[in-house]
Amino acid sequence: MRTKKCPNPRCHSAHIVANGRYWSDARGYTKRWICRDCGNKWKVFEEPLLQDLPALDIRIPLPAVLRRLALVALGLPLQVVEKLEYVKAETVRAQILRFHSDENLWGAICGLLISECGIPAARVEEFSTALDHIAAGTRTFHTLARAYRRLIRKQESRHALAEQSSRLLRRPVQISQTGQVQVGR
């Protein structure tokens, strides 16, 4: 279940993100949420998910992981992915670095980004090279954000990025000239 708004009666903000999950024998998986505007925290109980990547013991569905990786590979900054996916930027960053650290798994994920998500092979290679630099400590994720700002300056690039993001999210996405992302329902 994806919560759409903060339950705080004084807030009702849509700027909410997932704040972790834990297992309870009594209730199963419980997902924590936090409102980025008012700071309100709450829990949602959910059904257990399959472990799609048992080698890393990750209890999140593979399509969600691929979608997040694909959005970052397209060039969206982590803060934008946070708003689109309702998951903290720090979580997305940690997932990306964890996957990238395992060569075999990263090769399989790159193949899925190309075949399942439709990301051009050249873009996946650039993303992988950037992650190599980030892992070596010679670049940061802010470097990727600067590349995004350069990309959106061109109108045709903005439209192409919005179209690919819309296809991945299955919702209409518009990107302004300043880089602001608007997501439809």
Helix (H) or strand (E) holding 24: strand 16-24
CATH of region 1-48: 2.20.25
* pLDDT tens track for 67-115: 888 888 888 888 888 888 888 888 888 888 888 888 888 888 888 888 8
Sheet containing 16-24, strands listed edge to edge, beginning at the edge strand earlier in sequence: 16-24, 28-35, 41-46
Rounded distance, CA 118 to CA 177, Å?
24
**pLDDT score at 51:** 38
* pLDDT tens track for 152-183: 567 667 777 777 777 777 767 777 766 666 76
Question: What is the percent of the chain where pLDDT is above 70?
Answer: 75
Nearest to 175 by CA among 144, 152, 150: 152
Which pLDDT band holds residue 151 (cuts at 50, 70, 90)?
low
Q: What is the 3-state secondary structure (H, E, C) of 142-158?
A: HHHHHHHHHHHCCHHHH
Q: Is the pLDDT of residue 50 over 60?
A: no
Which pLDDT band holds residue 27 (cuts at 50, 70, 90)?
low
Helix (H) or strand (E) holding 92: helix 89-101
Tokens for 76, please give them. Answer: 């969206």
* pLDDT tens track for 113-149: 888 888 888 888 888 888 888 888 888 887 777 776 6
**Integer CA distances (angstroms), 47 to 65, 84, 116, 170, in order:** 18, 22, 26, 23
Higher-confidence residue: 48 or 32?
32
**pLDDT score at 142:** 79
Provide the residue count of the chain.
Answer: 185
Helix (H) or strand (E) holding 31: strand 28-35
**Integer CA distances (angstroms), 14 to 28, 44, 45, 112, 180, in order:** 26, 16, 20, 31, 16
